Amino acid sequence: MNAKKFSDAMSELDTKYVDEALNYKKKAKKPGWVKWGAMAACLCLVIAGIAISQIPGIFPDQGAGVDPGGTHPDGVDPVIASVAVYPATENIEDVADATLESISEVDAYEFDTLGEYLPTSLPDGYHFGKANLYETTMKDGTRYYMLRVQYTTGNDTAQGNAEEEIAADPNTLDKSFVVFVMNYEPATEKQIYAPTDITESLLEEIGGGTFHISYGDIYVGICPDTATSDDILAAVASIK
């Protein structure tokens, strides 16, 4: 829940409940520590809610069951709702379970089918950053997967010496992009492209936004983040 939604919700409180609370206060005045303790607890909840909604990556960028700061139906586990991934043809109420785990580079590239659609070569200066695997099981047994891999530049460890660091290229420091590979068509209102559609002019038109590519039954989403158009073109060209 973000600050605006919390404020809107508070403004919609029935004045009847406010009046009842004031009258009750007159009838039985509570000790000061109770009042301030309750206020502190409420404040902590509000801050925690806002902070959680702002944590990058807590909600997957593509195909999430619930949008960041969104709501979920009664009876749906909020944790499951926050990590569930599935196509627009499915419903969060039909999700039986959803998990999220960090996996290694080797496991990412060897993951059944999806790993084959990760870049096989990276732009100069880039290396594997981290990978997460989202798995959603529907009540009918159908399973949906999303493999999320971040590639980044910067410091890396030299071969043969785990403590020695390679100096980062100042021209490429802290650049990154993210690749999402899904075994379902992502729920998006934007156009889904063919691999041959991805050109420099298209990337300029997209303006650094996330886009999706269709490889038959497999869909690849790319979030350029701080990568250049040349970086993204090189990565796309190396995908199966």
CA distance 132 to 183: 15
In a domain, 85, yes or no: no
User: For residues 70 and 65, what is the distance between their CA atoms, to the nearest angstrom?
Assistant: 10
The count of other CB atoms within 10 Å of the CB of residue 57 is 12
Q: How many CB atoms lie within 10 A of CB 91?
A: 12
For 192, phi then psi, to 5°, come to -105, 125
Residue 54, Cβ neighbours under 10 Å: how many? 12
Looking at per-residue pLDDT, the higher value among 152 and 37 belongs to: 152
Residue 199: the pLDDT is 96
Give the domain extent around 30. Answer: 3-54
Quote the pLDDT of residue 71. 60
DSSP reduced 3-state for 165: strand
Q: In terms of pLDDT, which residue wins out, 66 or 240? A: 240
Residues 203-238 have pLDDT tens digits of 999 999 999 999 999 999 999 999 999 999 999 999
155 domain residue, yes or no:
yes
Q: Check whether residue 126 and residue 46 sit in a common domain.
A: no
* Contact between 98 and 134 (Cβ < 8 Å): yes
pTM exceeds cut of 0.75 = no
Q: Give yes or no for residue 135 having a pLDDT over 60.
A: yes
Residue 184 lies in a domain: yes
165 and 108 part of one domain? yes
If one compares 115 and 43, the residue with the highest pLDDT of the two is 115
Residue 110 lies in a domain: yes
| pLDDT bucket at 35, cuts 50 / 70 / 90 | low
> How far is residue 106's CA from residue 112's CA, in Å, rounded to a whole number?
12
User: What is the pLDDT, as a whole number, of residue 4?
Assistant: 45
d(CA 55, CA 34): 32
Question: Is 72 part of a structural domain of the chain?
Answer: no
Neighbours of 105 (CB within 10 A): 15
- As beta bridge partners, residue 220 has 181, 213
Tens-digit pLDDT profile for residues 36-78: 555 555 555 444 443 433 333 434 444 444 444 456 677 788 8
Tally of domains within the chain: 2
Residues 229 and 139 in one domain: yes
- Amino acid 32: pLDDT: 55
Which stretches of the chain are assigned E, i.e. beta strand? 95-103, 127-138, 143-152, 156-158, 161-166, 176-182, 192-193, 211-215, 218-223
Query: Cα dist. 108→190, 211, 225 in Å?
Result: 27, 21, 20
Same domain (yes/no): 200, 142: yes
